[in-house]
Structure 1
Amino acid sequence: MAVARRVVLGAAVAGAGAVGFARRSGFSPSNTGAGGPDTLTFSLWGSDAEVAAFRALGRAFERRHQGVRVQIRLETYEQMYANMDALLAGGRAPDLFRCDYANLGMYSASGQLLDLSPYFSAKDRAGFLPALWEAVCQDGRPYAVPHHTDTTAVLYRKDMFSKAGITHVPSSLEEAWTWDEFSEICARLRKKLHGVYPFVYGWQQAGAYRWLTWLWEAGGRVLDKDLSAPAIESAAGLRAMRYTQDFFREGFVPPNSSIKSAAYPDATFTAGTVAMSFAGDFLLPTIDPALKKELYGVTFQPRGRQAATDLGGNAVAATRDTDNPELAATFLKFLVEEENMARFCEQGVMLPSRRSLLNRHLDYAVRPDLMSAYAEQATALTPAMTAQVAVPSFGRINTALQDELEAAFVNRQPADVTLHHIAESTRKALASA
């Protein structure tokens, strides 16, 4: 599945991943309620590999806790959040559900999730990456577990680079191209490769929030440090907006790969119409069967004033009105045990959220040779970045990003006007949260 079709992003951004910001129809009344005192109901979406991994974890939990049943209820990503909204409103929500980080704040801030503070000690909390633990907290209290993450790096076609005379790509985050260097690479590819665009970016549809990576790289913010007011109208915001508008002006990206298009980065890359794709690691199982391994590699996102990346991946939460709070919390802790997390990430080709797994060798099912670069890229994500995406009102902010970035890229709306519109929409979103 492509990132914007699955996230949340991905938004995903993330996304990651893509965020279910616009409310979706498709409520299925058969998926109702918790399953009784010895049954945990768990609603989720996922790829075949992810679903198989969740089912295996459910069976393992049942073996550990005799008499307990884990009932998995599958949803499409497109229906997931509309269904959850209806079930929560009707008092028939499952005990547990999968949720991308950018949607999580909306649920936790409205009091719909189980406060996990009593179940996770300070030592437990310290076991997770700070940026991801920040993403599951509201007012310092955790309302989910950070199950995994994914991030965006740059896949590139080795054959196309060779044809353009590009013989070196950065092999570490520290060596990543600067923005100027990246533009020079794109200009060379555009000149040397006929009928091929230099790259495609994964900001389609609800993945619009991935544009924030460029803003953060420029040293900007979408929200101020108190997360209470817009901060995008800045010199850094102008630089990021003008730089990304140039992608379309210069013909560096396909014209049909703008925010509201359906030209997703994995399909465009495997079709051979672009030389590079900004793609999440979880897309590798989709990309790899379509391309010979020797044809493509990975490098790092360009650096501006600093390195940055998007917040992808998903958390798992328990609903506040579960009949089984103790059992639900026990299952959440089970999901994020080191070995269980390792197996899930290996099978789904995702990155773990536990510190202890950062330097451990994981046997990824697809392209393990590329995953160390993704892991290094993920270190560019900071708690300050995740905090801006995890606010309860981010869904509305992302909707504004979709509309205004489309106007900036396709209709050439001036950069300062675009930033002002985003800031005004952000102010209204924060006021209504």
Structure 2
Amino acid sequence: MKSINRRDFVLSGLGAAAGASTGMYWGAASAQSAVNLTMTSWGSNAEIAAFNALIEQYKARKPNVSIKLEVVPSGQYYQQLDTRFAGKQAPDIFRAQYQRIGRYAQSGAAIDLSQYLDAGYGQDFLASVWRASTFKGKPHALPHHTDTFALFYNAEIFEKLGIDAPKSLDRAMTWQQFIAAAKLIKEKAGLNYAFAMNWQNSNAYRWLMYLYQHGGQLLDSDLKAPQINTKEATETVAWTQSWFKEALVPPNTSLKSSEPVQNLFATGKIGMLLHGDWQIPFIQDQAKFKWGVTYLPRDVAMAADLGGNALAVSRDSKSADTAADFVKFMVEEEAMRSFVTKAQFLPVRKSLKDKGLNYDLRNEEMKVFLEQSATVPEHLVSTIVMPSWDRFNARLADELELAFTSGQDPAATVANIERHVRSALLV
């Protein structure tokens, strides 16, 4: 008589039934083949800790899956990622800013996730970030969180100088009031510089919120032609250039620098900081003075920056189905709640925004960021999520750097930007 091996037994109807009744069904999850995934990201200590905690939760759900988190400094991240894609050795899962998703989708580096998602999957996500994660109507990443900017301030300096921090969005400081406060801080608080802006490592898109505040925009309403060579844009360049001309900000904090401006604030070297919500854990830990958060300055309008990141599966992944499953887990409601409350980000699921969140740190300050996030212009979002945005961003950074550090004329700056944008739109 032919012997019956384990595989033959399981595949027979009797074996399957017996295995189901005895708990000895060898096709169960415990016998699944091991899957080893890599995920790459940058991030603060709080972000990395939040990622690792969720990786452990997923491994408890899927014991056969191992996920190695590779952490890269933010200033080197995209260069390293692009090099790995060029060598066909990209990680299975990668984190990317919404402004970068279009490029990775267009090149095929980030795969289309449609096959892994149910119909209507994107309906609970904020429309702006879902649109930012899609290319030609197909999701090539899943929105993980968002963030925006507000104004961190040294409350002890504000109190000493009689500067009132606005308590509501409609009372945010005007551009003129903000500059007046900056000059007062520099003159009376014994500091060499008053404030700094986080747009280092050529993150030029963060300048756009000031352009929108002043009534301008980079592209026309159809996103098909430049609309930057205007009085509003020239005046916006001049205003931000004045920060450097009048030595209100440190000269090494322009766009092409890599200066960690949060350090300047936390050590008391500046009195104000234009930065994002994810800096709260660092400042809470490092600052030895009383501080707070208030709203961005405003001009003819209020406008904020769209920040945040999505998670994508790479075309180099040998286990794309498992990688996609992990990404879906990371953006589930409870996983998202855990990440954003620990790492101090804003959720991108409508259900979480509606329910409200209790953050691990500075809940009241996080409410300021939540309010501020509602002021991101839709046209700004549509502009910076274009697949060609990286080309715009690089040229915008070049020209703004010349204006801020070399004194290039604002009118010449916007004329140059217009020429670069027109060329980029033709590619």
Which TM-score band (shorter chain)?
Answer: 0.7 to 0.9
TM-score by length of 1: 0.84
Query: 1:52 Cα shift?
Result: 2.6
- Cα distance in 2 for residues equivalent to 1:50 and 1:172: 29
> Which residue of structure 1 lines up, in the alignment, with residue 145 of structure 2?
148
Deviations 1:353-380 (A, max 9, x none): 1112224443433323311111111111
How many corresponding residue pairs?
395
Match of 2:245 in 1: 249
Partner in structure 1 of residue 210 of structure 2: 214
**Counterpart of 1:198?**
194
Match of 2:221 in 1: 225
Whether contact under 8 Å (1:131, 1:381) holds in the other structure is: no
Which residue of structure 2 aligns with residue 306 of structure 1? 301
Distance in 1 between residues matched to 2:128 and 2:162, nearest whole Å: 39
Contact 1:265–1:278 under 8 Å retained in 2:
no
- The residue that corresponds to 2:84 in the other structure is 87
Distance 1:419 1:92 in 2: 40
1:186 aligns with 2:182: yes
The 8 Å contact of residues 196 and 275 in structure 1, kept in 2 or not, is answered as no
Equivalent in the alignment of 2:363: 368
- For residue 172 of structure 2, what is the aligned residue in structure 1? 176
Q: Are residue 287 (structure 1) and residue 286 (structure 2) matched?
A: no
Task: Name the SS of the counterpart of 1:147 in structure 2.
Answer: strand
Distance 2:367 2:139 in 1: 29
Structure 1, gaps ≥5 residues long: 1-35
SS in 1 for 2:271: strand
User: What is the match of residue 296 of structure 1?
Assistant: 291
Query: 1:133 pairs with 126, 130, 134, which one?
Result: 130
- What are the Cα deviations for residues 159-183 of structure 1, in whole angstroms up to 9, with x where unaligned? 21122222x2211222212223323
1:104 aligns with 2:101: yes
Contact 1:200 1:276 in 2 (8 A): yes
**Aligned match of 1:113 in 110, 127, 131?**
110
Contact 2:34 / 2:66 at 8 angstroms: preserved in 1? no
- For 1:407, which of 394, 399, 402 is the aligned residue? 402
SS in structure 2 of the partner of residue 98 of structure 1: strand
Cα distance in structure 1, aligned partners of 2:80 and 2:182: 43
2-side partners of 1:201 and 1:72: how far apart? 30
Q: CA deviation at 1:215?
A: 0.7
Q: Tell me, which stretches of 5 or more residues in structure 2 are unaligned?
A: 1-32
Q: Which moved more, 1:379-388 or 1:119-128?
A: 119-128
User: Is 1:315 the equivalent of 2:338?
Assistant: no
TM-score (norm: length of structure 2): 0.85
- Counterpart Cα distance in 2 of 1:414 and 1:251: 17
Distance 1:322 1:302, change over 3 A: same
Listed one character per residue, the Cα deviations across residues 34-63 of structure 1 (whole Å, up to 9, x for unaligned) are xx8734332223233322322222222232
Conservation of the 8 A alpha-carbon contact between 1:131 and 1:382: no
Counterpart in the other structure of 1:26? none
2:330 aligned to which of 317, 324, 335: 335
Comparing 373-382 and 76-85, the one that deviates more: 76-85
Q: In 2 relative to 1, CA 126–184 (structure 1 residues): closer, same or farther, beyond 3 Å?
A: same
Distance in 2 between the 1:68 and 1:351 partners?
Answer: 28
Identity %: 39
| Conserved? CA contact 2:75–2:258, under 8 Å | no
Secondary structure class of the residue paired with 2:392:
helix
Residue type at the aligned position of 2:338 = R
1:215–1:237: 8 Å Cα contact kept in structure 2? Answer: yes
What do the CA deviations read for 1:283-337 (whole angstroms, capped 9, x no partner)?
A: 12222222246x1111100122222122222110012353333333222221111
Larger Rg: 2
Alignment match, 1:68:
65
Q: Indicate the larger mover: 401-410 or 358-367.
A: 358-367
